[in-house]
Amino acid sequence: MSIVPANTDMAKKIAAVGLLNKFVAHGFEERKAFVQVVIDIYPDFNNLKGVNKLNNFWALREFSINDELEKVLETLKKE
């Protein structure tokens, strides 16, 4: 299935859905496990603001951290 984004904001949202799907495919099926693995790999998120961003990403309400999460996935693939 392919979705053609209508604009930049939609492209970020579509990318976020894809990233979340990849995390779930790696076995992080619960928000808590997702947040923990991201903090372990990317400690910049280990604060209230960072955790809130991760929780909002999980709920598909935060799209500004897509690049950082892509790096986390790259690290997970190497392990």
Q: What is the pLDDT of residue 55?
A: 98
Distance in angstroms (rounded) separating the CA atoms of residues 76 and 78 = 5
| Cβ count near 58 (within 10 Å) | 19
Does the predicted TM-score (pTM) go above 0.85? yes
Q: What is the pLDDT of residue 29?
A: 96
* Average of per-residue pLDDT across 56-70: 97
